[in-house]
């Protein structure tokens, strides 16, 4: 199983990265993209045919899903028509939210069911994709949001926090993972909002509590110091700490 970082800028796209998106590939399995924020459709074209991907949405904040309307255009109007529909997994109101984003005019909703085969996440679900399975748990973030535990056919584990504050569910998801891909949206400042996101300190604490092998920091916004977040996490977790960049590949 291979994870390719398509985009990792937190909350919005940045000067050097699209917003959130991670490509998951394994031999004999159609590629999967975890989160599909602004800029991901462009980055994806370097690595895979967008007509052949499954999409897993952690939640419906704009920075995690707003290139899906572009994927609709790609599949509907590309000169080589895509076969079948793209499977998209997400929260309960995914059809409505993507339908509004893709509509022709205000007040209308695009019926995306011609192009997308939508599946609703439920807390604790495990979906088998052939070369890997994905378990989701609902995490601590304002909209309905899920973290993911991806397990390869060989039993290797990538845990992805999505966007979340510290919670039991995200610790369970990360337990003994080979890689923890953890958001770290801000430094551990006294005036940071409660919940919502993890600080660098909390990402490091999560890695330690869950006993992961390696911590990959992501979702650092353009206005947050990358160096400060890395230093905070490394102060809590004794294992390897690395902040990911677009184009990086991790093999499991
Ligand atoms: Zn986000
Ligand atoms: Zn969010």
**Which string of DSSP letters, residue by residue, matches 99-141?**
HHHT-SSTT----GGGTEEEEE--TT-EEE-SSEEEEEEE-BS
Tokens (6 digits) for 185: 């949206």
Q: Nearest to residue 229, comparing CAs of 198, 200, 188?
A: 200
Neighbours of 223 (CB within 10 A): 11
For 118, other C-beta atoms within 10 Å of its C-beta total: 17
pLDDT tens readout for residues 231-252 = 999 999 999 999 999 999 999 9
In the predicted model, is pLDDT for residue 200 greater than 90?
yes
Q: For residue 78, how far is its CA from the centre of ligand 2 (angstroms)?
A: 30
Task: Return the CATH number at 222.
Answer: 3.60.15.10
**Cross-strand partners of 160:** 148, 181
d(CA 86, CA 231): 40
DSSP H helical segments within the chain, as ranges? Answer: 40-44, 62-65, 68-77, 94-101, 168-174, 200-210, 226-234
Pairwise CA distance, residues 18 & 25, whole Å: 20
Please check the confidence at residue 81 and state whether its pLDDT lies above 90: no
Token pair listed for 126: 């495990």
Give the angle subtended at the CA of 111 by the CAs of 106 and 114, to the nearest 5°: 150
N- to C-terminal Cα separation, the chain: 5
The answer to whether the beta carbons of residues 215 and 180 sit under 8 Å apart is yes
Instruction: Quickly count: other Cβ atoms within 10 Å of residue 140's Cβ.
Output: 19
Residues 128-173: tens digit of each pLDDT:
999 999 999 999 999 999 999 999 999 999 999 999 999 999 999 9
**Helix and strand totals (H; E) in the chain:** 7, 14
Identify the pLDDT of residue 160.
98
pLDDT tens track for 208-235: 999 999 999 999 999 999 999 999 999 9
CA 49 to centroid of ligand 1, rounded, Å: 25
Residues around ligand 1, an ion, CB closer than 5 A? 63, 163
Note the ligand closest to the C-alpha atom of 10.
1
* Domain count across the chain: 1
CA of 28 to the centre of ligand 1 (A): 31
> What letter does residue 67 receive in the DSSP assignment?
T
Q: What spacing in Å lies between the alpha carbon of 228 and ligand 2's midpoint?
A: 21
Which residue segment(s) compose the domain that 130 sits in?
2-249
Q: SS3 helix, strand, coil % of the chain, rounded to 5?
A: 25, 30, 45
**pLDDT tens-digit series, residues 14-68:** 999 999 999 999 999 999 999 999 999 999 999 999 999 999 999 999 999 999 9
Q: Are 15 and 27 in contact (CB under 8 A)?
A: no
Q: Ligand 1 center to residue 27 CA distance, Å?
A: 29
Q: Which of 67, 60, 63, 72 is nearest to 97 (CA)?
A: 60
Q: How far is the CA of 195 from the centre of ligand 1 (A)?
A: 13
């Amino acid at each position: 199983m291979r994870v390719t970082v398509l985009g990792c800028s937190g909350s919005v796209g940045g000067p050097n990265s699209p917003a959130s998106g991670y490509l998951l590939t394994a031999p004999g399995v159609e590629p999967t993209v975890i989160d599909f924020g602004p800029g991901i459709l462009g980055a994806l074209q370097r690595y895979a045919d967008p007509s052949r991907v499954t999409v897993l949405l952690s939640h419906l904040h704009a920075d995690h899903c707003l290139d899906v309307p572009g994927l609709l255009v790609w599949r509907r109007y590309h000169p080589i028509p895509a076969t079948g529909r793209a499977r998209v997994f997400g929260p309960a109101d995914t059809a409505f939210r993507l339908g509004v984003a893709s509509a022709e005019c205000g007040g209308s909703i695009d019926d995306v069911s011609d192009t997308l085969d939508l599946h609703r996440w439920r807390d604790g679900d495990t979906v088998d994709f052939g070369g890997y399975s994905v378990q989701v748990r609902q995490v601590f973030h304002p909209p309905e949001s899920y973290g993911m535990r991806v397990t390869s056919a060989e039993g290797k584990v990538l845990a992805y926090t999505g966007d979340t504050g510290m919670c039991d569910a995200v610790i369970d998801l990360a337990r003994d993972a080979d890689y923890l891909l953890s958001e770290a949206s801000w430094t551990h400042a006294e005036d940071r909002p409660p919940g919502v996101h993890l600080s660098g300190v909390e990402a490091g604490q999560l890695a330690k509590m869950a006993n992961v092998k390696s911590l990959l920091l992501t979702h650092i916004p353009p206005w947050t110091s990358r160096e400060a977040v890395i230093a905070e996490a490394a102060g809590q977790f004794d294992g390897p700490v690395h902040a990911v960049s677009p184009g990086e590949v991790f093999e499991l």
